[in-house]
Structure 1
Amino acid sequence: MEVKLSNGYGWKRCSLAQDRAQHRCHIKKGFILLLTLTFLSSAIIHFSDFSLKTIELPDNLYKNVVNQIHSYYMIIKLPSGRDNQTIFLAPAPNANQQVQQRATQISTQTTAISVHHHVAHPSNYHFILDEPDKCRQWDPFLVLMVPVAPNQVKARNAIRSTWGNESTVQGKAVITLFLVGLTGGSNSEKVQQQLEEESRQHRDLLQSNFVDSYFNLTIKTMVIMDWLATRCPQANFSMKVDSDMYINIENLMTLLLAPNTPRQNYITGVVMWNRSVVRNKHSKWYVSEELYPEPKYPTYLLGMGYVFSNDLPEKIVEASKAIKPFNIEDAYVGACLKHLDIAPLSPPDPSLFRVYMGHYKREDFLRVITTILGSPQQLIDIWKDVKRPT
C-alpha cells in the first residue's frame, strides 16, 4: 500500500494492484494523521528502545506524517500511570488556515526531530469566544478571571448571581470573566452552541482552542495571563479564582486599596513553601522527572485563588518561554515567578485566604477573602446569608 498527500488538504489511499481501478476516498485528515502516527510509533516502540523525546525518522514517509501532524496539531506529552507518557493532540494555532512554513526547517541531513512543543505558551492558541473591548468599556480596577469547564453552567450562573455580580466595590470597577477550552465527546457540538448562546447573553465568556482537561490547566492559566496582558493592561489588579470559590470582594478590595499593598510585582494568596514534587505515578498530582527534575517546587500560590498586580501577566507570559511546562499549574506559575526573581508574598493576615472553613458560621465568612465551597447552591445560600441586613 502506498500512502501519499493530496495538495496538503487531505489524504488519498490508493491500491498498488495493477488489475484494479484506482480508488479514492477522503477521510478527515485529523483521524488519519493520528492513526498513522500511532501505527508508526507502535512499530518503533515494539522493535527498539523508543523515547517520545526524540523520534528516529525511518524514511521520508514518516517525515511527511510528522510535518503534517505539526501543521494541524500541537503534540503534547503528558504522564500516564502505565508508561509515564501520553501523546495528546490539541488544535494548532493555524489549524483552520493555510499551513504556513515552519520557522525551523528540518534539514535533509537530520536523522531525528523532537516532537515536544512548549504547549503552555499562549501564542500557540487563539480565542474562539472573546471580549476584547471589555476593559476599554469598563476601565476596571480589578479583574476576576475564572477558569471553568465548558459544561459547568451551574457554577457560572451561581457566580453571576453572587460575587460575580459585584461591578463596583468601594468606588472601584470590578469585572468577572470565565475562561473555557474546547469540549470533547459526542455532544461537543451541542455544548459549543450552548456556550455561544451563553456568550451572547452574558458577554463574560472567553474560549480558547485548547482542549479543556485537568492536565491542560497550565495552558488554561497561561491563556488567562495572555488575555490580561493583551486585552486588559489598564487594570490595577487581577485574580485567578477557581469556580468553586467564595469571594468576599469587600475584604479583597480593602486589601488592595491598603497603602502598604504594592502596585507592582505583587502576588499573594495561600503561599506554598518547600513543597515536594509528587513522584507517585498513581497520584493525580504526579509529575515526572523529565517534566520537572527538581525534587521540590519553588514557592508558589495555591491555585484556588491568588491575586496579583496586573503588571505580572505580561512578565509571566514572557518568562514561560524559558520554563518547560508541567501539569501542576500553580507550581508552574511559581516557577515562572522564580525565573523573574519575584517572591510571592503572604497576605497581611494569612487567615484571609482559607482553604476550607468547616461548619458554616456567618461571622467567619464576613472576615475572609476566599475559601472553597462544596457546590454552586452552597455559594448561593451562603451569599444570601452574608448579604442579609443585620
Structure 2
Amino acid sequence: MNLCRRLWKYILISIILYALIFLNLDRIRTFSSESSAIEFIEIPRNESKTNSFIAHFKDQNHSYQFLTVPKKLCTNNTKLQITILSTAGNFDIRQAIRDTWANPNNSKHVLNNDVRISFIISAVENEFLSFALQKEIEKYDDLIVTSLYESYELLILKVHAILSYKQNYCDSADFQLKIDDDMAVDMDGLFDSLSDKRLANVDAISGIIWKNSPPVREKKHRWYVPTSLYSQKYFPPYIDGPIYLIGRNIIPKMLEEAKNYNQWVIEDVFWTGIIAKALRIKQINWSTHLLRYVIELIPSRLKCSKGKPLIYAVHNMKGPIMIHDGYKKLKGVKCE
C-alpha cells in the first residue's frame, strides 16, 4: 500500500513539473534567445585597420579577432599603453584595479591620457557571464575582448594579441606594458621612470631579468619543454612574465620573428627570451623597482631614491583586498 502511494506521488510530481515546463516553454525560449544574443560594442571603424589577425608560428597558425576594443583610443599624447591580462570572471579584481592604480583620480598621467589602460580577456560562451561582461564594457569602456580560447597554455597567443593591438590601435605610444591582474602599481612612479633611458628604451624590453634558468624536462609539469623544442641546458636571459615593458620600435620585429619558431607554452621565455635573443634586443633590469611577493611589502624594501619611492609595482596580490592593501602601502611611502 505504501509503495503504491509513493508511486502515485512521484507520478503526480512528474505531471506537475511537465505541465509547468510545457506551459512556460515559450517564455524559456524567449529568455534563452535574448540572453545568448549578446552583442559586443562595435569596434571603431578605420579603413587603414583590420580586425582579423593571425598568430604565425613555424609549426602552426591561429586566426583571431578583437570582438571589441575601447571606444576611447590612444591620442598623440599617449606615451604608455598598458594591457592587463585578465580572465572573464575576474570582475572584482578588475574593479579593485580601477579603484586604485588605474583610477584617474589617483594618477595625473592616467587623467591626462598619458597612459591608456585596458584589460584583455577572451570571450566566453556562458550567457550570464557574457551579459555581465557586456554591462562592464558599457560602463567602463576598458575591455579588449578577443576570440582566443582562454588557456594558460595559450598565453603566448594572448601576448601576440597585445602586441597586435598596440601596433594597430596605439602605434604612436612609445611603450607597451604587459602586466598581470594580480599586481599593485604606483602608476605615476612607473610612468616617471620611462623618461630615464637607463630604465626604458623604445628599442628594449624592461623588467626582472632571469638568467641561467634550466628548462623543465618533466612531461607532467605545466612548464615542460621537450628537447625537440629547445635543447640547450639553460634558457637565454628572459624577462619575468607578470610585468614587462616593450619599446615601440621592436614590436613589429618581434611579431615577424615569431614566424620562424614553433609555438611555446611559456610565453615570457618565448617573447622576451627566445625572440629577444634572435633580434639582439637589449634587456633592462628593473629588479630594484619591482617586488615579486606580498611578503616583500615591508618598510626595509619600501625605501626612497633621489626623493622618490624606489618601488613602483608588486606582484602576487591575490584578490581585490590585497590589491587595495598593496597599493596603499606603495603610495604610503613618504620621501623628503
Shorter chain as normaliser: what TM range?
0.7 to 0.9
Match of 2:60 among 104, 107, 117: 117
Unmatched 5+ stretches in structure 2: 1-51, 303-308
Match of 1:302 among 240, 245, 255: 240
Give the direction of change, closer, same or farther, for the CA distance of 1:275–1:388 in structure 2 (3 Å limit). Answer: closer
Write the letter of the residue equivalent to 2:60. Answer: H
Query: Residue 183 of structure 1: CA displacement?
Result: 3.1
Contact 2:64 2:146 in 1 (8 A): yes
Unmatched 5+ stretches in structure 1: 1-92, 95-114
Instruction: Measure the CA separation in 1 of the matches of 2:291 and 2:189.
Output: 13
Match of 1:376 in 2: 320
Instruction: Measure the CA separation in 1 of the matches of 2:254 and 2:197.
Output: 25
Contact 1:267 1:309 in 2 (8 A): yes
Match of 2:127 in 1: 189
Instruction: Measure the CA separation in 2 of the matches of 1:132 and 1:312.
Output: 26
Write the letter of the residue equivalent to 1:244. Answer: D
Q: Deviations over 1:291-338 (max 9, x none)?
A: 434443221100010112222222211111112111000001021112
Give the direction of change, closer, same or farther, for the CA distance of 1:281–1:204 in structure 2 (3 Å limit). Answer: same
Query: Residue 389 of structure 1: CA displacement?
Result: 9.6
Match of 1:169 in 2: 109
Give the direction of change, closer, same or farther, for the CA distance of 1:355–1:297 in structure 2 (3 Å limit). Answer: same
Instruction: Measure the CA separation in 2 of the matches of 1:314 and 1:208.
Output: 20
- In terms of mean alpha carbon deviation, does 127-136 or 233-242 score higher? 127-136
Contact 2:71 2:141 in 1 (8 A): no
Query: Residue 250 of structure 1: CA displacement?
Result: 2.6
TM-score with structure 1 setting the length: 0.63
TM-score with structure 2 setting the length: 0.72
Contact 2:77 2:113 in 1 (8 A): no
* Highest RCO, 1 vs 2 (Cα 8 Å, sep ≥ 6): 2
- In terms of mean alpha carbon deviation, does 233-242 or 249-258 score higher? 249-258
Write the letter of the residue equivalent to 1:125. Answer: Y
Instruction: Measure the CA separation in 1 of the matches of 2:285 and 2:83.
Output: 21
Contact 1:246 1:379 in 2 (8 A): yes
Match of 1:336 in 2: 275
Is 1:324 the counterpart of 2:262 in the alignment? yes
Contact 1:238 1:310 in 2 (8 A): yes
Write the letter of the residue equivalent to 2:154. Answer: N
Query: Residue 146 of structure 1: CA displacement?
Result: 0.5
Give the direction of change, closer, same or farther, for the CA distance of 1:358–1:215 in structure 2 (3 Å limit). Answer: same
Query: Residue 212 of structure 1: CA displacement?
Result: 0.8
Give the direction of change, closer, same or farther, for the CA distance of 1:147–1:196 in structure 2 (3 Å limit). Answer: same
Question: Where do 1:270-309 residues align within 5 Å?
Answer: 270-309=208-247
Contact 2:60 2:262 in 1 (8 A): no
SS of equivalent to 1:211: coil
- In terms of mean alpha carbon deviation, does 196-205 or 357-366 score higher? 357-366
Query: Residue 128 of structure 1: CA displacement?
Result: 0.7
Match of 1:85 in 2: none
Contact 2:193 2:200 in 1 (8 A): no
Give the count of matched residue pairs: 268
SS of equivalent to 1:289: coil
Contact 1:164 1:175 in 2 (8 A): no
Match of 1:179 in 2: 120
SS of equivalent to 1:157: helix
SS of equivalent to 2:116: strand
Match of 2:137 in 1: 199
Question: Where do 1:86-97 residues align within 5 Å?
Answer: none
Match of 1:220 among 150, 158, 172: 158
Write the letter of the residue equivalent to 1:168. Answer: K
Write the letter of the residue equivalent to 1:225. Answer: L
Contact 1:182 1:208 in 2 (8 A): yes
Percent identity over the alignment is 24
Query: Residue 172 of structure 1: CA displacement?
Result: 7.0
Instruction: Measure the CA separation in 2 of the matches of 1:265 and 1:336.
Output: 14
Query: Residue 221 of structure 1: CA displacement?
Result: 0.8
Instruction: Measure the CA separation in 2 of the matches of 1:244 and 1:260.
Output: 26
